[in-house]
Amino acid sequence: MDVLRTPDTRFENLTGYNFAPHYCEVKADDGTPLRIHYLDEGPRDGEVILCLHGQPSWSYLYRKMIPLLTGAGYRVLAPDLIGFGKSDKPAAVEDYSYSAHVDWMAQWLQAVNLTDITLVCQDWGGLIGLRMVALFPERFARLVVANTGLPDATTMPEEMSAMLGAMYPQLPIPSATDVGDAFKAGAPGAFLFWVKYSAENPDFSIHDVFGLLSGIEDDAVLNGYEAPYPDASYLAGARKFPSLVPLLPEHKAEREKNDAAWKVLEGFEKPVLTAFTDDDPVTRGGEKRFQDTIPGAKGVAHVTIHAGGHFLQETQPEAFSKAIIDFMKTT
């Protein structure tokens, strides 16, 4: 496995990102060592909040929230998934799989030996984090689920998967604008446009992704999100992630693993908060499955965050942090 590591100089002088780096080594299936970077801020004896990002962001996404959460007395850890941020980046798209991501983060979780965790997960942070909860439910005290999902046989039955599998090869390679238009229109199979854009458009752009899903226009912020990727060779993980969402027929094994994860979540009685935004074009309405299925979500004062887009940590950090803090103080 060929592994790339972004030079530290790429991360100098990033606005609002002045946190000490921490590192942990895990191993790929073939024995290749992979270095995971993570932030670890706040009092050592504070209750632990684990913040997991998605695609194509990194721990930079939580830079506005970390001071708010640590200021409330919590210890906050925010790792960079393999392929993102300051973590190592396998260079081939074939090196990435859904199960590999879960395994890498499970190794990290065991190495840092966290317990009594409040998980905060968004986007792929949910797809990976909720699988981790299923593997180690005893390590988690609460869940905060935001703008994410966990596709399984219930949400993606085989007939629908087969239909999407037949549709995908027929789609033209879209632009970022095409993807945005498909989401805004609520077009059937809109997510497939996102998959195809990320996997096949030679002009795939981190700038365009954040503009598409949250309307960020500040170049300093956009440059921060793009810092981990000096050139296109570093983008394999970011480009592959949408293709790993278990929607198509070839993803059946991962849907079955998510089926098993849901079985654990159906017995998870510790507190669960949903904090979805009202305008996320990707996951809007997805909170209902969590609220209806997980026992720990019953009786919780779930929140809807207004005008947060997909990356609510960036656009509504105060509201999201307040929801987390209030939830932790009352459970």
Separation of alpha carbons 320 and 325, rounded Å: 9
Residue 88 appears among annotated catalytic residues: no
pLDDT band at residue 188 under the 50/70/90 scheme: low
Give the pLDDT score at 210: 82
For the chain, the C-alpha Rg in angstroms (whole number) is 18
DSSP string, 43-65: -TTSPEEEEE--SS--GGGGTTH
**10 Å Cβ neighbour count for 295?**
13
List, for residues 210-267, the tens digit of each pLDDT value.
Answer: 877 777 888 899 999 999 999 999 999 999 999 999 999 999 999 999 999 999 999 9
- Mean pLDDT value across residues 28-42: 98
pTM for the structure as a whole: 0.97
H or E segment and range at residue 277: strand 272-277
Mean per-residue pLDDT for 54-65?
Answer: 97
pLDDT exceeds cutoff 70 at 198: yes
* pLDDT per residue as tens digits for the range 64-86: 999 999 999 999 999 999 999 99
If you average pLDDT over every residue of the chain, what do you get?
A: 95
**Catalytic-role residue among 123, 152, 178, 208:** 123
The pLDDT of residue 320: 98
Answer whether residue 207 shows pLDDT above 90: no
Q: Tell me the C-alpha distance between 108 and 80, whole Å.
A: 11
Provide mean pLDDT across the span 269-292: 95
Bridge partners, residue 33, by sequence: 27
Average pLDDT over residues 158-174: 94
What the block records as the tokens of 165 is: 């599998």
The more confidently predicted of residues 7 and 181 is 7
Query: Are the C-beta atoms of residues 206 and 231 closer than 8 Å to each other?
Result: no
| CB-based contacts of 144, cutoff 8 Å, min separation 6 | 118, 119, 120, 121, 272, 273, 275, 323, 324, 327
218 is catalytic: no
Q: Where are the alpha helices (DSSP H) in the chain?
A: 65-71, 98-112, 124-135, 158-167, 176-185, 190-200, 206-214, 219-226, 236-244, 252-265, 287-293, 312-315, 317-330
Higher pLDDT residue, 162 or 212?
Answer: 162
More confident of the two residues 217 and 306:
306
- Does residue 63 carry a pLDDT above 80? yes
Q: What are phi and psi of 292, to 5 degrees?
A: -80, -20
Residue ranges and CATH numbers for the domains of the chain are: 3-154+252-330 (3.40.50.1820)
Whether 292 is a known active-site residue: answer no
Say which of 53, 178, 280, 302 is annotated catalytic: 280
